[in-house]
Amino acid sequence: MRLFLTVVSVEEAIATVRRIAPPPGVASVPLANSLCRVLANEVTADIDIPGFPRSTVDGYAVTAADTTGASESQPAMLNFRGTISMGVQPSFGISHDECAYLPTGGILPGGSDAVVMVEHAERLDTLVLIQRPVAPGENVISKGEDFPKGAPVLVKGHLLRSQDMGVLAAIGIATVQVFSLPRIGIISTGNELVPVDAIPDLGQVRDVNASMIGGFIADHGAVPQYYGILPDVPHQVRETLVRASGECDAVILSGGSSKDLRDICAKVVGEIGEVLVHGIALQPGKPTIIGRVGRVPVIGLPGHPASAFIVLRVLVKPLLEAMTGRSFPDRVVRATLTQNIPSSRGREDYVRVQLEGGNVTPLFGKSGLVNTLVRSDGMVRVPAASEGFEQGEEVEVILW
Amino acid sequence: MRLFLTVVSVEEAIATVRRIAPPPGVASVPLANSLCRVLANEVTADIDIPGFPRSTVDGYAVTAADTTGASESQPAMLNFRGTISMGVQPSFGISHDECAYLPTGGILPGGSDAVVMVEHAERLDTLVLIQRPVAPGENVISKGEDFPKGAPVLVKGHLLRSQDMGVLAAIGIATVQVFSLPRIGIISTGNELVPVDAIPDLGQVRDVNASMIGGFIADHGAVPQYYGILPDVPHQVRETLVRASGECDAVILSGGSSKDLRDICAKVVGEIGEVLVHGIALQPGKPTIIGRVGRVPVIGLPGHPASAFIVLRVLVKPLLEAMTGRSFPDRVVRATLTQNIPSSRGREDYVRVQLEGGNVTPLFGKSGLVNTLVRSDGMVRVPAASEGFEQGEEVEVILW
């Protein structure tokens, strides 16, 4: 049993997970289910949008030249030709000195090139008095002005928001080609673990990590698949890892944080695949494993929930970004330290902190305490080259 | 047909939707499905967590007093009593001058009160040399230290994140009581509207708003229910609104922006329920309707997608916040205006803008252009008391 691990830097660990992350596949989803999905290809307008010149106001379609110089005291007088209904092609065109009423969104009749708002006109039986001039094209969306046929509308890799769903509707995309959601297996290991609905016997604890990891995966654009709790028995871990790596796009192992167990996980990954990293210059989270079985990345998290959560943020987030095509930028605020944060050079420290007003206080609680996950508001990163931060310094807080 | 609406202020409109919003109900969901749900009641620890004193390191359980003054040159010599396995109750206790090996997470044997890290000890057959002193409680989580039995852990109204799901697992909550997801009906009206998968005839346009509204609802913690496209025929709108208000917690009407249609919607809402607001001092979005049928809020959005999107942000967001128990704070950045934004006093203007570096440029495009929804990065609010902003001013941009 080795007492010490050969550690790599956090940068190297992140580069490793990015390198082994399988790129996302492609799936078809109905437009109504496309929120927060990522476009798998560029989308273009199938037709000119709109397919006809359209009024943007309720008013009178006119030939703009007929309104030149019109004012309230000297209105232009036009002959009223009729009313155009919504969604219906006009049955007539207009000539000079003629006009037609149409609603917002209505089709301009032939011969017209602008619309006078109803507020700036007065109808007197068969005559309409136009009280303001309009320029050609005024209050009109011309054919293809919104999206001309064939024009690129949204690029590959775009994350779909509600307004994008409206735009996809406009260009006729009822079924959207998006990146598929990666499926991530979760295996909890540890002789001491019992399910959430059990009352632990002496020495046992409930499996905290599977629920936390599953939530993290769902929150980062992927689908968790649970493989339950395994005892620290190599052949059982091996069998389940073989199955999970056959069914999933990546697998996260977690549980029991004893050195023995870490050896079991690394040993099993090494037997059926390869261990790329075993140990990261990261506190907490040093005993993390990065490996793969075939082309399926396998991450071994430390068992302490608070440590596991830091590794999810630091290492699993970039893995899921690469696998989903999404990015999950950290929310960062600046605040003033109320206490020193000492650190060792050569290792990145992530210290859970509480924020209050503009002040930030480190929670130096034992990393085995689950309660620091809910008592903390975020974390402060101490870079590997730093020996820590001093009370009164302004630091960046990465919010949960 | 009235040409002008009686408008209320944006503040009054928001207060109205908050007042009529039905409070969320309660639902039970499995812990694994509880991400982004809101706790419907306070949760407490069912038992002491942990239920036993637990080591936070791999090392030797000792009586702290036995290690006083220990150093590498003058180690304390303790008798080795055995190894405690993970998840197993120790079969022995220790006395003074004795110790036992245990893994991280292991139960401390009776008689011990601290753990010496394995790195600070050396085992020589039946003797263990302790090279550093430990204080009582060091490297130990005591019984109930994480969450004492009965202690409040998360409050009612708390939005569940992945780390909270871990904490709920720790305290044995396999089924979570959360606020139910409100169901919001979506009715598109307009003679000119065709479904997304249709090729529009001359004068027709695809229904953009239903997809955009559905995405917005899903993005704000609620469930969209689609009632399709209706022509501007009062009895059809009435029948569908009656059905939707029986099946949903709120209904959003949208479509066709002609004055005639607005009248149809307001008329129908008034016939089977009550119209509370018809017209808001808001640009774009003035012709918005707020009403209710029974206890079910009904919002009538303008048909222009860009206008409808502003009203979703300004008015439907606070409605959904009240109905879900969640809050959706705006992301705001400050930037310098590259152009004047003129505005009318007495009305709130929301101007779609593009951000580039620290500069913000208004998109004064026609509000009927759907493309401004994807070309813009956010909006600038011009308060009712302001006549606008000048080029070079720093303004707040509310990001999409």
Here the tokens at position B322 are 């009240």
Q: Please give the Cα distance from B97 to B181 (Å, whole number).
A: 61
Of B284, B306, B324, which marks where a domain is finished? B324
Instruction: Indicate yes or no: CB of B190 within 8 angstroms of CB of A86.
Output: yes
Contact B86 A256 (CB under 8 A): yes
Supply the range of the domain harboring residue A111. Answer: 54-141
CB contact under 8 A, B162 and A196: no
Looking at the structure, tell me whether residues A292 and A267 fall in a common domain: yes
Residues A224 and A306 in one domain: yes
> Within the 261-320 window of chain B, which residues sit less than 8 Å (CB to CB) from chain A?
261, 303-305, 309, 312
Q: What kind and span of H or E run contains A311?
A: helix A305-311
The reply to whether A103 and A18 lie within a common domain is: no
Q: Is residue A3 part of a domain?
A: no
Contacts (Cβ under 8 Å, ≥6 apart) of A349: A283, A341, A343, A381, A382, A388
Contact A210 B168 (CB under 8 A): no
Residue B312 falls within a domain, yes or no? Answer: yes
Residue B198 maps to a domain:
yes
CB A103 within 8 A of CB B287: no
Q: Which of A300, A259, A294, A254 is CA-nearest to residue A274?
A: A294
Q: What is the CATH number of the domain that holds B40?
A: 3.90.105.10
Q: Is B63 on the interface with A (CB under 8 A)?
A: no
Residue B5 is assigned to a structural domain of this protein: no
Does residue A239 sit in the same domain as residue A309?
A: yes
For chain B, 400 residues long, give each residue's pLDDT as a single digit of tens. 344 578 999 999 999 999 999 999 999 999 999 999 999 999 999 999 999 999 988 999 999 999 999 999 999 999 999 999 887 889 999 999 999 999 888 999 999 999 999 999 999 999 999 999 999 999 999 999 999 999 999 999 999 999 999 999 999 999 999 999 999 999 999 988 999 999 999 889 999 999 999 999 999 999 999 999 999 899 999 999 999 999 999 999 997 545 555 578 999 999 999 999 999 999 999 989 999 999 999 999 998 899 999 999 999 999 999 999 999 999 999 999 999 999 988 999 999 999 999 999 999 767 778 999 999 999 999 999 999 999 999 999 999 9
pLDDT digits (tens, 9 = 90+) for B318-355: 999 999 999 999 999 999 999 999 998 899 999 999 99
Q: Flag whether B3 is in a domain.
A: no
Picking from B50, B201, B260, the nearest residue to A103 by CB comes out as B260
Q: Which residues in chain A have Cβ-Cβ distances shorter than 8 Å to B369?
A: 141, 145-146
CA atoms of A302 and A212, how far apart (whole Å): 13
Are A251 and A300 within one domain? Answer: yes
Task: Write out pLDDT tens, residues B258-316.
Answer: 555 557 899 999 999 999 999 999 999 998 999 999 999 999 999 889 999 999 999 99
B chain contacts of residue A207, beta-carbon cutoff 8 Å: 169
Q: Does A254 lie in the same domain as A386?
A: no
| A50 contacts B207? CB cut-off 8 A | no
CATH of the domain at A110: 2.170.190.11
Task: Examine the domain organization and report whether B258 and B337 are in the same domain.
Answer: no
What share of chain A in percent tops pLDDT 90?
A: 86
Query: pLDDT per residue over A127-165, tens digit each?
Result: 999 999 999 999 999 999 999 999 999 999 999 999 999
Q: Is residue A240 part of a domain?
A: yes
| pLDDT computed for residue A3 by the predictor | 47
- Among A residues 156-175, those touching chain B with beta carbons less than 8 Å apart: 160-170, 172-174
pLDDT tens-digit map of B226-245: 999 999 899 999 999 999 99
| pLDDT score of B76 | 96
Per-residue confidence (pLDDT) for residue B368, from 0 to 100:
76
pLDDT at residue number B255: 73
Is A113 in the same domain as A156?
no
* Contact at CB, B89 and A214, closer than 8 angstroms: no
Which tokens sit at B296? 């079910």
Asked if A148 is an interface residue toward chain B (Cβ–Cβ < 8 A), one would say no
Which residues from A are below 8 Å from B43, CB to CB? none
A235 — contact with chain B (CB < 8 Å)?
no
Q: Which of A251, A255, A222, A224 is nearest to A239 (CA)?
A: A251
What is the number of domains present in chain A? 4
> How far apart are the CA of B296 and the nearest CA of chain A, in angstroms?
24
Q: What is the ipTM for the molecules in this complex?
A: 0.92
Considering the domain architecture, whether residues B167 and B89 belong to the same structural domain is answered as no
Q: What pLDDT is recorded for position B259?
A: 55
CATH number of the domain within which A386 lies: 2.40.340.10
* Minimum distance, in Å, between the CA of residue A75 and any CA atom of chain B: 20
What pLDDT shows up at residue A257?
Answer: 46
Task: Evaluate whether residue B352 is within a structural domain.
Answer: yes
Q: Is the pTM of this model over 0.90?
A: yes
**Which CATH number is B224's domain given?**
3.40.980.10
Q: What is the pLDDT of residue A392?
A: 96
Q: Look at residue A375 and tell me whether its pLDDT is greater than 50.
A: yes
Asked if A86's CB is within 8 angstroms of B199's CB, the reply is no
Angle (deg, nearest 10), helices B209-219 and A162-170: 160
Question: Could you give the maximum distance between any two Cα atoms of chain B, in Å?
Answer: 100
Token pair of B210, please?
């239903």
List helix spans (H) across chain B.
10-20, 162-170, 209-219, 234-247, 259-272, 305-311, 317-324, 372-375
Q: CB-based contact (8 Å) between B328 and chain A?
A: no
Q: Nearest-CA residue of chain A relative to B214?
A: A32
Q: What is the rounded average pLDDT for all residues in chain A? A: 94
Strand ranges inside A214-356, DSSP E: 223-230, 250-255, 274-278, 282-283, 289-293, 296-300, 332-337, 341-342, 348-356
Contact between residue B189 and residue B231 where contact means Cβ atoms under 8 Å apart: yes
Last residue of some domain: A141, A169, A199?
A: A141
Rounded to whole angstroms, how far apart are CA atoms B56 and B53? 10
A260: confidence class by pLDDT, cuts 50, 70, 90: low
* B189 and B100 assigned to the same domain: no
Indicate if A203 and A272 belong to the same structural domain.
Answer: yes
Predicted local confidence at residue A4, as pLDDT? 57
* pLDDT band (50, 70, 90) for residue A365: low
Cα-to-chain-centroid distance, residue B65: 50
- Hey, is the C-beta of A75 within 8 angstroms of any chain B C-beta? no
- The shortest CB-CB distance from B167 to any of A160, A366, A370 is to A370
Determine whether the interchain pair B369/A145 forms a contact, defined as Cβ–Cβ distance below 8 Å.
yes
Q: Given an 8 Å threshold on Cβ–Cβ distance, is A370 in contact with B146?
A: yes
- Put residue A47 in one of left, alpha, beta given phi > 0 → left and psi -120 to 50 → alpha: beta
pLDDT above 70: percentage of residues in chain A: 96
Q: Is residue A5 part of a domain?
A: no
Min Cα–Cα distance to chain B from A288, Å: 15
pLDDT band at A88 (very low <50, low <70, confident <90, very high): confident
Q: From B91, B114, B141, give the residue that closes a domain.
A: B141
For residue A209, is pLDDT > 70? Answer: yes
C-alpha–C-alpha distance, residues A152 and B106, integer Å: 60
Residues of B whose CB is below 8 A from A50: 205
Q: Quick one: closest CA in B to A3, which residue?
A: B119
* Amino acid letter, residue A84: I
Position B47 scores a pLDDT of 95
Asked if A135 reaches chain B (Cβ–Cβ under 8 Å), the answer is no
How is residue A203 written in tokens? Answer: 């020495």
Contact: A163, B202; criterion CB under 8 Å? no
Assess whether A171 and A247 both reside in one domain: no
Phi/psi at A192 (nearest 5 deg)? Answer: -85, -5
